[in-house]
Chain A
Amino acid sequence: MTESLRVIKARRTTLENVWRLLKTAPLSAWFGMIVILIYAIAAIFAPWIAPYGEAQIIGKAYEHASDTNILGTDQLGRDLFSRLIYGARNTIGIALVTTLVSFLVGGSLGVLAALKRGWFDQGVSRVVDAFLAIPVLIFALMMLAVVGKSVVNLVIILALLDATRVFRLSRAVALNSVVMDYVESAKLRGEGMRWIVFREVVPNILPPLITEFGLRFCFVFLTISALSFLGVGVQPPTADWGSMVAENKTLITFGNPAPLYPAAAIALLTVAVNFVVDWFLQRTSGLRDGK
């Protein structure tokens, strides 16, 4: 675009920029952000919001919805609504931790591989390629069979598997940045690895990685839910949406929609995150379109 335009656009504070950005957000992105906010509140303040305790038995099994328990009770007579709220904390928490570990491992290996190249890059890339050839869900199932079901195992296995995907992406975006002249210029100056990684490369690959974080979170979240649903993920009595669907699934054949609630809770969050990510993606690719 013309140079004058660019110069005029200079000089705005971060806060102003964020507000300007938000103003351009489409309805779907707003919807997504509000949903995420509500989930976050539910997860953080679960003990204050939920009418009953996580494992508190308040009545008979499979009671229908009433004034005291608005969604009814589960197979052990626990309040479904309370467990839904606690589920937010557990399910989202586990997925978030997994994704963070996955990004820490995969991201740092990816950036390192892009910078070092040579045998390190070759070695890690080949191993990752082999792991990429096995679907995550299948691999996770197999590993859980070997090491046994527990939340810690679940987090470690999924984080490592997902890290292979993160490695691929962060290596690719880091490679784009590493070939830039400003990195070469830093090398010519004689800068060490630390400066090059943290001052030259990382600030430039952060935006795409943040977008990817949203997508990876959704994927991890869905995979954990699926594993829990299959009975090999989060184990009772922890309130977890995937297991809650499995625990109450027989109800559906009797026309009781109880198992649909936790499933819907999962769906709503991933849809919300996807809407926000989609908006980010369109913003970045839209610039290319407008040429």
Chain B
Amino acid sequence: MASEKKRVKGDALLEIRGLKIDGKSDDSWNPIIKGIDLTLKRGEVLGLIGESGAGKSTLGLSAMGYARPGCRITAGSINFDGIDLVTASEATRRGLWGSRIAYVAQSAAASFNPAHHLIDQTVETAVSHHIMSRDKAEADARDLYKRLQLPNPDTIGLRFPHQVSGGQLQRAMTAMAMSCRPDLIIFDEPTTALDVTTQVEVLAAMRDIVEQFNTAAIYITHDLAVVAQMAHRIMVLRYGNLVEEAETRAMLKKPTQEYTKSLWAVRKLQKKESPSKDIILDISAVDASYGNGTKVLDNVSVKIPRGRTVAVVGESGSGKSTLARAITGLLPTSSGSISFNGKPLPRALIDRDKDTLRRIQMIYQSADTALNPRQRVRDIIGRPLEFYLGLKGANRDRKVVELLESIELDESYIDRFPSEMSGGQKQRISIARALAAEPELIICDEVTSALDQIVQEEILQLLMKLQKDTNVTYLFITHDIATVRAISDEIVVMHKGKVVQQGLKSKVLNPPYPAYTELLLSSVPEMDPDWLTNLLVKRKKAAV
């Protein structure tokens, strides 16, 4: 395949000028898109990147002249190949949808109708727009399946959506979008829900087919490394405004705006690893299974050194979160042993004494569910102080303020409810609650994955600072390799309930790799726009 993307020249296909979109929340209209210009040439792939609330999905859908229920276009024009989609009749727009502008949604599982075969849904657009006969459309669909490297392309269409995997479904949806050979495809976070090893195949298939048919595309994502592989040009959005726009390589090399630069920042964070032989938690040959008998931890042995950060990394279903549940006693192990400070840890939570509970604390992925929405910060942080340390009244409040200071929030936050704080602030409160118990080990379960990039970095830095101050040990569970690189001393790689590898960061992240570690590490997208191309070449070579 083409190793270097062509600089696409051509006439403008889509021109958006001064677009404003309002969204309804709490009975009032608030701006989501605040006046954006966008130009897309034929055959060009434009990446829309931004954090949650940036308005990138809304903007992407507006390129179809579509506003979700609860949204409305208030100003501006959307010119698609000479047709103004804002003023066009619904019939005109519907005539374009599917045939000339197609949409690929984030959740393929929810976006396919559960009641119909894949092929029926794939050909539906072409047949209902009278572009092809049904037979021709089906033959074409099979061809598209093949091009998208779906297994058994001739028969996979006869399956129902729930009968194929997430990655396959996402490719089938791309085939569906491609069925009328549209001029423009909107990809709305198409790989966000996929595991990283699956993502590679899907990205490659999508990029390939868009190139083959010279289709223009708008690729929406929050992942810079992904967009670097897919797009010729990138637009960075924030709060409904355009921050920066440039050719992909130029932007990666030299972002001009502060905000864009900050998006890169987390990748630069690097903790220097330091080995240690003082083991605080020793997990040895542990098995665990859920009620229905499926084994989720299979002979797992992990050693966690005191005052260090051990990252447990793996994809969904690897058993990494289950490991946390086994350590905390929420899911009692069925065999093997866990010892803490040299003493065996009772299997079940109820058998552990208060002081043991105090020494092991946990921070969750989503502060929204981890903090009781009906409690004020005073009580959230104050409760462990009262419960474990017996602090009351003014003493307790004083300590709460101290803890707030250590997480870089001022004392005015003490009377707030969780709903009165931002995502990052809430996660800080979760951290303070764990710290209040003066623990020796904190289990961090995907604590940054629900946060925006910049906030992620702040939280990681805070965690590192706290470790330096208190010598607390972290068990850091994550699926994100960049986070692992940033904060760990040691790494544990898990796959299907087993430990693939444990070792110092420098050892695990450098060759020689066990096969799964290599697959996992090589699948993590990098900022280099040639990364995907090179990876595919390399894998092809290895396969020969």
Contact = CB atoms under 8 A, between A and B. Distances in A.
Nearest to B420: A10
A212 interface: no
Contacts of B388: 189
Given A6-B420, A182-B371, A204-B373, A187 B70 contact: no
Interface string A17-58: 000000010000000000000000000000000000000000
Contacts of B373: 204
Interface in B30-64: 30, 53
B383 interface: yes
A21 to B, nearest CB: 11
**Main DSSP-derived SS at the A contact region:** helix
B384 interface: yes
Given A2-B239, A291-B70, A185 B387 contact: no
A67 interface: no
Contact of B370 (A1, A181, A190, A199): A181
A200 B366 CA distance: 17
A201 to B, nearest CB: 9
Interface in A232-283: none
Interface in A97-139: none
A105 B204 CA distance: 59
A7 B420 contact: yes
Contact of A189 (B70, B357, B420): B357
A287 to B, nearest CB: 7
Contact of A6 (B374, B387, B422): B422
B393 interface: no
Interface stretch (B8-16, B18-26, B532-540): B18-26
Contacts of B330: 184, 187-188
Interface in B422-450: 422-423, 433, 437
A1 B384 contact: no
A200 B387 contact: no
Interface in B251-293: none
Contacts of A182: 369-372
Given A1-B25, A6-B419, A188-B328, A290 B70 contact: yes
A181 B369 contact: yes
Given A3-B53, A11-B420, A185 B328 contact: no
B354 interface: yes
Nearest to B55: A2
A290 B70 CA distance: 5
B73 interface: no
A190 B23 CA distance: 44
Given A3-B422, A182-B372, A290-B24, A190 B53 contact: no
A5 B30 contact: yes
Given A6-B419, A182-B369, A191 B387 contact: yes
A194 interface: no
A149 B420 CA distance: 54
Most buried by B among A181, A204, A291: A181
Contacts of B374: 203-204
Contacts of B53: 1-3
Contacts, number: 77
A3 B51 CA distance: 12
Contacts of B25: 1, 287, 290
B146 interface: no
Nearest to B53: A2
Given A2-B53, A3-B53, A185 B370 contact: yes
Most buried by A among B366, B372, B383: B372
Nearest to B360: A188
Contacts of B27: 24, 286
Contacts of B354: 190
A6 B422 CA distance: 8
B362 interface: yes
A289 interface: yes
Nearest to B356: A190
Contacts of B151: none
Most buried by A among B69, B369, B416: B369
Contacts of A180: 369-370, 372
Contacts of A199: 372, 375
A24 B25 CA distance: 13
Contacts of B361: 188
Contacts of A191: 387
A185 B365 CA distance: 12
B362 A188 contact: yes
Contact of A185 (B69, B364, B419): B364
B222 to A, nearest CB: 15
A1 B70 CA distance: 13
A1 B328 CA distance: 34
Interface in B383-442: 383-384, 387-388, 416, 419-423, 433, 437
A5 B239 CA distance: 11
Nearest to B384: A189
A184 B372 CA distance: 11
Contacts of A190: 352, 354, 357, 387
Contacts of B30: 1, 5
Interface in B169-189: none
A287 B26 contact: yes
Interface of B: 23-27, 30, 53, 69-70, 239, 328, 330, 349, 352, 354, 357, 360-362, 364, 366, 369-375, 383-384, 387-388, 416, 419-423, 433, 437
21 contacts: A1-B25, A3-B422, A3-B423, A6-B419, A6-B420, A7-B420, A7-B421, A11-B420, A181-B364, A182-B370, A182-B372, A185-B370, A185-B433, A187-B349, A188-B349, A188-B360, A189-B384, A204-B372, A287-B25, A290-B23, A290-B26
Given A180-B369, A181-B369, A290-B23, 11 more contacts: A2-B239, A6-B419, A184-B330, A187-B330, A188-B328, A188-B362, A189-B388, A189-B437, A190-B354, A203-B375, A290-B26
Nearest 7 CB-CB pairs, A to B? A10-B420, A203-B374, A3-B422, A181-B370, A182-B372, A190-B357, A181-B364
